[in-house]
């Protein structure tokens, strides 16, 4: 029977290389896979494109990646409060693609669903429309927003079974569930792992078909 459980965080991010696009779940600290963040920082990779809601604050969050200088571009909706990112951005050392939060989630969903993009009225008449195709529908102007996909998605769940079915802890679910649909390799950090069949099927948010690796952290 398929078993996707790995013994450590390093195994969960194995294969991540220079130049990869990486989605990281979390809204601030809620739903952030801290073990994976540390594991990637220790890999010594460079030139990553990071897709995340935010750019960290300080401590052992995504600030680790900026202190390690492994990110060349970030696609996010809330880079504020991120001291390490801000310093590098002002120095011209990292590129920022700022995306409204709802648009960011929908672009990831479009990538996971295999769509070629979607039309959004958000950003019309602002700096967000720069470089984007405008399309008029029934007299209203929309921006064509392109899908987002990644080589890796690193997310945080609550409980998973050995097959890779995943549940989440309330709002810690945030961007995590949709990210699992839009990456070639999906690794999920959870609080605990149970045997196949122990999870209530109605409670499963991310089915095992989207998950490649599961790691049960032993500490925060």
Q: What is the DSSP string of 130-183?
A: TT--EEEETTEEEEEEPP--EEEEEEE-SEEETT--EE--GGGGTTHHHHTTSE
Which residues partner with 76 through β-bridges?
98
Beta strand 134-137 pairing with 159-161: unpaired
Reported confidence tier of residue 220, pLDDT bands at 50, 70, 90 = very low
- What percent of the chain shows pLDDT beyond 90? 90
pLDDT band at 56 (very low <50, low <70, confident <90, very high): confident
User: For position 80, what pLDDT does the model report?
Assistant: 83
What SS3 state is found at 110? helix
- What is the model's pLDDT at position 59? 76
- At residue 210 the predicted structure's pLDDT band, cuts being 50, 70 and 90, is very high
Question: What gap in Å lies between CA 15 and CA 210, rounded to an integer?
Answer: 17
**Residue 82's pLDDT is what?**
87
pTM of the model: 0.94
Instruction: Please give the pLDDT value at position 2.
Output: 82
Split at pLDDT 50, 70, 90, the class of 57 is: confident
pLDDT at 219 over 80: no
Report all structural domains of the chain as residue ranges with CATH numbers, in order of start. 9-115+148-216 (3.40.1080.10)
Element (H, E) at 40: helix 34-41
Query: 174, 158 in Cβ contact below 8 A?
Result: no
> Which three-class secondary structure state does DSSP give residue 24?
strand
Six-digit token pair at 191? 């609080």
Q: pLDDT, tens digit, for every residue of 99-157? A: 999 999 999 999 999 999 999 999 999 999 999 999 999 999 999 999 999 999 999 99
Q: Is pLDDT at 70 greater than 90 in this prediction? A: yes
Mean of the per-residue pLDDT values of the chain: 94
Query: 120 or 80, which is more confident?
Result: 120
Average pLDDT over residues 17-42: 95
Q: At which residue do the structure tokens 């709802």 appear? A: 102
Instruction: Enumerate the β-bridge partners of residue 190.
Output: 216
CA of 66: how far to CAs of 38, 45, 52, 79, 189, in Å? 12, 12, 13, 12, 21
Determine the average pLDDT of the residues in 28-36.
Answer: 92
Helix (H, G, I), strand (E, B) or coil at 8: coil
- Average pLDDT, integer, range 156-168: 97
Q: In what order do the strands lie in the sheet with 183-190?
A: 95-98, 71-76, 48-51, 21-24, 150-156, 183-190, 213-216
pLDDT band at 33 (very low <50, low <70, confident <90, very high): very high
Q: Report the alpha-carbon distance of residue 204 to residue 164 in Å, rounded.
A: 10
pLDDT, average across residues 15-29: 95
Is 66:55 a contact under the CB 8 Å cutoff? yes
């Amino acid at each position: 029977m398929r078993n996707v459980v790995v013994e450590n965080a390093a195994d969960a991010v194995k294969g991540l290389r220079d130049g990869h696009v990486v989605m990281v779940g979390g809204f601030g600290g809620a739903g952030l896979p801290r073990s994976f963040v540390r594991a990637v920082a220790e890999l010594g990779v460079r030139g990553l494109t990071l897709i995340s809601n935010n750019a960290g604050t300080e401590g052992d969050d995504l600030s680790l990646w900026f202190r390690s200088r492994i990110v060349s571009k970030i696609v996010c909706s809330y880079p504020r409060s991120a001291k390490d990112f801000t310093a590098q951005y002002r120095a011209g050392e990292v590129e920022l693609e700022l995306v409204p939060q709802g648009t960011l989630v929908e672009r990831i969903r479009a990538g996971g669903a295999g769509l070629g993009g979607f039309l959004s009225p958000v950003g019309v008449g602002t700096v967000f429309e720069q470089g984007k195709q405008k399309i008029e529908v029934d007299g209203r102007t929309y921006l064509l927003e392109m899908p987002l996909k990644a080589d890796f998605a690193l997310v945080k769940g609550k409980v998973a079974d050995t097959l890779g079915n995943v549940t989440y802890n309330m709002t810690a679910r945030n961007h995590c569930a949709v990210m699992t649909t839009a990456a070639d390799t999906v690794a999920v950090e959870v609080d605990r792992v149970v045997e196949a069949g122990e999870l209530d099927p109605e409670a499963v948010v991310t089915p095992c078909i989207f998950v490649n690796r599961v790691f049960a952290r032993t500490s925060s």
